[in-house]
A and B are shown apart, each in its own frame.
Chain A
Amino acid sequence: MESLSNKRKVLEVKPLNFLERAYLPAIMGGLATTMKHFFKKPVTISYPEEKREFSENFRGMHSLKRDENGKERCTACGLCALSCPAEAITMTAAERKPGEENLYREEKYAAVYEINMLRCIFCGLCEEACPKEAIYLDGDIVPTDYLRKDFIYGKDKLVEAPLNQ
């Protein structure tokens, strides 16, 4: 049958000649190749001491943002939790008390906000879903730990550091 793509290649299997059957020349070739690699610079990046440069749209650990006055942006609307395909996010909403205006931007805020880093797949859908620009995956690689419970990150780890006035 004629080939439509013209990409077909007919391979010819030639019997090995004497030098090829003698193994040794091929082995020398192999040894030369490996020796070339011996003097190459290693490609290893010694993580934790060295870090690979992240790409611009790298998605790492989440951070809950504050606005320009240092108030928490999150209003606990739950859209991030709803959009999360791994169901890693949970939160409890609370009402802002009088006198807390400098802490929370709107009347409703997240009293508890937890992300299970073992469930999270770092897809960034929470970031896209957030109407308040409150959550971004702009952090570092999530560090390792020993216990499962320690991977559930609360507000203490997620909320951005307060502005220094």
Chain B
Amino acid sequence: METTDLIFRIVLIVIIFAISLVVAMYSTYAERKVAAFFQDRIGPNRAGPWGILQPLADGGKMFLKEEIIPTNATPFLFIVGPSLAILTACIGSAVIPWGQAIVIGGHTFDLQVTDINVGILYIFGVVSLGVYGIMIGGWASNNKYSLLGAIRAASQNISYEISMGLSIIALLMLTGTLSLKEIAEQQHGFAWNVWRQPLGFVLFLVCAFAETNRSPFDLPECETELVGGYHTEYSSMKLGFYLFAEYINMFISSAVMATLYWGGYNYPGMDWVAAHVGPTIAPIIGVVVFFGKIFFSIFFFMWVRWTIPRFRYDQLMDLGWKVLIPLAIANIVLTGVITTLLN
């Protein structure tokens, strides 16, 4: 029993890791395709049918590019930067509940790598570690544009983490638990948290855009002002790691968003389905639903990117400090008042 659990867990870790990487890989392709469709174009269509081998071609290109470490850069930190960025992006997926417990051959397995009771705090910790990858990389490059980009990224992430945390607090007042698995289970059927916390969701969404450095908050790599931002000096696969980390972050934050607000693996009519297909197939359908939500969320990230122009830096800070934080605090007060009145 112990060993089967252990083996299942290791298999699950490998699968989740592979899925994160594949999703990130194909997000780059999806981004280009989606951008093309939004602009009435076709997009990449030369590598393989409909261009589906494009990410492989891009990856191969990245590996074959010349590896440059600037003379005045700090070589150790220069390599640590992108490694840390991709590492922190990958470990966030450990606490996400991908589905209900699945029954295979009489054994029950959790579709979650680890169910720690402070899951949300873990996610927050990992997310705030993500800044170090960018900060170290930008600092080690010994380039003013990299440094400015890194500083922008750091201040942006710190500012938006506050309102993100505050918007989560309102949610936690309703759920009463920090464990992501319990939060997902509470939203059984159609009782998704987004119906109870619409303002909190909007705040979380905006902050998620800022945390992943996605447009309209992609100031750290604002080409017109900063050349390439924090990865100006990076080339080859180290640059690839930074870009890859952004897409993995997008995937993880979509998963977190789906778990916290959009019901995770829950969908209306899941009890009926579970009663009809049995305890092995039903969780798999739940996982598929969960991934559907994640993919729509990733699509939404891209949709916004190709719609809204970039903020100016002072506007970004204004929005973060003068709009989102007061709104988040108001949301907490509102949630407290309403829950007290209803009880």
Contacts and interface: CB of A to CB of B under 8 A. Distances in A.
A27 B41 contact: no
**Which of B36, B41, B307 is the most central at the interface, judged by chain A CB atoms within 10 Å of its CB?**
B307
A42 B37 contact: yes
Nearest to B46: A46
A40 to B, nearest CB: 5
A34 B38 contact: yes
Nearest to B38: A34
A43 B41 contact: yes
B308 A30 contact: yes
Interface in B25-42: 34, 36-42
B306 A34 contact: yes
B203 to A, nearest CB: 12
B303 interface: yes
Nearest to A29: B307
How many B residues touch the partner, as a band?
10 to 19
A42 B41 contact: yes
Interface string A111-128: 000000000000000000
B45 interface: yes
Contact of A27 (B34, B40, B45, B307): B307
A128 to B, nearest CB: 38
Interface residues of A, number: 15
Contact of A33 (B34, B36, B42, B307): B307
A42 B35 CA distance: 12
A40 B37 CA distance: 8
B42 A37 contact: no
Contacts of A31: 303-304, 307
B37 A27 contact: no
A41 B36 CA distance: 11
B38 A46 contact: no
A27 B209 CA distance: 14
Contact of A38 (B38, B42, B45, B202): B38
B304 A38 contact: no
A35 interface: yes
Interface string B36-62: 111111100100000000000000000
B38 A42 contact: no
B317 to A, nearest CB: 15
Nearest to B299: A38
Contacts of B37: 37-38, 42
Nearest to A22: B323
A6 interface: no
A42 to B, nearest CB: 5
A37 B39 contact: yes
Contacts of A35: 303
A42 B40 contact: yes
A44 interface: yes
Given A40-B40, A42-B37, A34 B45 contact: no
B64 to A, nearest CB: 21
Contacts of A37: 37-40
Interface string B300-320: 000110111000000000000
Contact of B41 (A24, A33, A34, A44): A44
B65 to A, nearest CB: 22
Interface in A35-83: 35, 37-38, 40-44, 46
Interface of B: 34, 36-42, 45, 202, 303-304, 306-308
Given A27-B308, A34-B303, A42-B37, 4 more contacts: A31-B307, A34-B306, A35-B303, A44-B42
